[in-house]
Amino acid sequence: MDIPTTDGLNGRVAIVTGAGAADDGIGNGRAAAILLAASGARVFCVDRKIELAERTATMIESAGYTALAYEADVTEPANCEAMVEAVLSAWGRLDVLDNNVGIGSRGNVVEEDYQRWRRVMAVNVDSMFLASKAAIPAMRATGGGAIINVSSISALRPRGLTTYSTSKSAVIGLTRAMAVDHGGEGIRVNCVAPGPVYTPMVYGRGMSDEARARRVSASLLNIEGTGWDIGHAVRFLASDHARYITGQVLVVDGGTTLRGPDRDSR
């Protein structure tokens, strides 16, 4: 009997966009970068703020793994092209792209400002289109790769965040379309949809203890999600363990999207 084995991500090269986080906090991108590196990948930590990317790279290197920091605004086509050129110059290949950049917005279509709508779409959708557009030829040159796009359960269960929900729904559509377009080239494209995870982006806004407790109670498991949970999902989808998975949405939410009224309250 031949038992399938994997050597993790040894020898692979990964780009993680939005790899920074405030101070030493563990956001989704930083967690993914650290876990990919711990599995043997060389990780290109990309952020619009170079000091945040550098901190992530330093955390990885201090643990004995390999990383480089890179500054880029991935809503700009030239920045995405330069990012891929830089990783190829450094390490000669590209195998994994974690499209992790995103911002939020609240309100309905009447309340939303058009310029804010455009900015959310640029950051949450255009960035993934542009980074993938630059990365796919490099992956194609070495026989394939894996792209992981970060969406949100707000795409699956809208809740008063209309612009954000729309952008994250577009991420799912982009994921599925790219999976169809590039599967024949050995490029897998999948999506992670986080639920309410406690990250620097969240607690940096000054979330109250009561609001935090409500988020925990929304989980069927009554536990709090963190950036590590999202990072583990990204690492799985990037690895050979997911070699037969493409075009899928992996929901990481502790069962939050299944939560409905208690039976006794009906």
Catalytic residue among 65, 70, 114, 164: 164
Q: How far apart are the first and last CA of the chain?
A: 53
Task: Look up residue 27 and give its amino acid.
Answer: G
Is 65 marked active-site?
A: no
Cβ burial of 183 (10 Å; 0-12, 13-18, 19+) is middle
Task: Look up residue 54 and give its amino acid.
Answer: E
Catalogue the active-site residues: 164
